[in-house]
Structure 1
Amino acid sequence: MKKEDKNVIIKKIADTVKGYENFYLTDIATLDAAKTNNLRRECHKQDIKLMVVKNTLLRKALESLDGNYEELYPLLKGNTAIMFSNVPNAPAKLIDKYKSEKIPAFKGAYVQESFFIGDKYLKDLVSIKSKTELIGEIIALLQSPARNVISALQSGGNTLHGILKTLSEK
């Protein structure tokens, strides 16, 4: 491969890393063509971008970025595929779904500006909530007391209206 071609690929990988908040390093070497196509379809459905890369090109792309990704460098051995997503737990859920087949094999992840290296963190990554999920939960918690007060006032008003109506009829 020519140096110019490598530089184009490195820039493309670096731009993709910049474009997503989270990425997972996986190994999909043991997949045959049919299983790889199924995985790609599943990734596409969940807005996950799957990219198979050469380790040296990925390392150079990460080195060209502003952040410090040194913790991921030891994982860049063997075959490496990257799963990019703006939803922090989407790739983890997909990897966990196929955990029994150990495909894709989880190597590590960069999620919400933190590094997660090894299988022991996969369950934690599955349970991470996205920003929109957290905002939704906070809004629901804030609305709950207001709903209870409004409901109590409305039911009390109906009761009071019924009593007044009964008294007026007598």
Structure 2
Amino acid sequence: MKKEVKDTIVVELGQKLKEYSHFYLVDVTGMNAGATSKLRRECFKNEIKMVVVKNTLLHKAFEASDVDYEPLYGCLKGNTAVLFCNTANVPAKMLKGYVKESIPALKAAYAEESIYVGADKLEELAALKSKDEVIADIVALLQSPAKNVVSALQSGAHTIHGVLKTLGERPE
């Protein structure tokens, strides 16, 4: 591969690191063409951009970045695919389906501005909540007291109405 081509790939990887807020490093050693195609289709369905890269080029892209990715350097061995996404837990949930096969295996991840190293972090990553999920939880928590007050007022109104109706119907 010519130096110009390598430089272009490093620049493209740097742009993807800026464009996507989360990425996973996955070991794809031992995957045949059919399994790789299946993984790519699954990634496409889940809005994940999968790129198989040379470790040295990814290392250079990490070094050129503003973020300190040094803890990830040790994971750049073997065949590596990078799964870029904008929702932190989607790739982890997808990879959980491959746990039995152990291919592809999680090497490391950069999610929610934190670095996770090792396949044992998959459960932790899958449990992360996306921004939309956190906002939905907050809205539900904020709505809960208001709903309780409204329902208490409505049930009280029925009670008062019933008492007044009974008093009105009572003979004098």
**Corresponding position of 2:65:** 65
Shift of 1:169: 2.7
Q: CA RMSD of the aligned region, Å?
A: 1.1
**Corresponding position of 2:85:** 85
Shift of 1:86: 1.1
Shift of 1:121: 1.3
The CA deviation string for residues 61-101 of structure 1, in whole angstroms up to 9 with x for no partner, is: 11111111111011111100001111111111111111000
Does the Cα contact within 8 Å between 1:95 and 1:103 map onto a contact in 2?
no
Q: Percent identity between the aligned chains?
A: 54
Say whether residues 1:98 and 2:122 are aligned partners: no
Shift of 1:167: 2.2
The CA deviation string for residues 16-59 of structure 1, in whole angstroms up to 9 with x for no partner, is: 01111111100112222222111111111111111100001101
Q: Describe the SS at the equivalent of 2:100.
A: helix
Write the letter of the residue equivalent to 1:50: M
Q: Describe the SS at the equivalent of 1:101.
A: coil
The CA deviation string for residues 84-142 of structure 1, in whole angstroms up to 9 with x for no partner, is: 11111111111111100012111011111111111221111111111111111111111
Q: What is the TM-score of this pair, normalised by structure 2?
A: 0.94
Does the Cα contact within 8 Å between 1:25 and 1:109 map onto a contact in 2?
yes
The aligned runs of 1:27-46 (5 Å cut-off) are: 27-46=27-46
Larger Rg: 2
Write the letter of the residue equivalent to 1:9: I
Q: What is the TM-score of this pair, normalised by structure 1?
A: 0.95
Q: 1-side partners of 2:102 and 2:82: how far apart?
A: 16
Q: 2-side partners of 1:137 and 1:94: how far apart?
A: 23
Shift of 1:165: 2.1
Gapped regions of structure 1 (runs ≥ 5): none
Does the Cα contact within 8 Å between 1:98 and 1:104 map onto a contact in 2?
yes
Paired residue total = 170
Q: Which moved more, 1:76-85 or 1:24-33?
A: 24-33
Write the letter of the residue equivalent to 1:108: A
Q: 1-side partners of 2:166 and 2:40: how far apart?
A: 69
Write the letter of the residue equivalent to 1:158: H
Q: Describe the SS at the equivalent of 1:67.
A: coil
Shift of 1:9: 0.8
Gapped regions of structure 2 (runs ≥ 5): none
Say whether residues 1:145 and 2:169 are aligned partners: no
Write the letter of the residue equivalent to 2:5: D
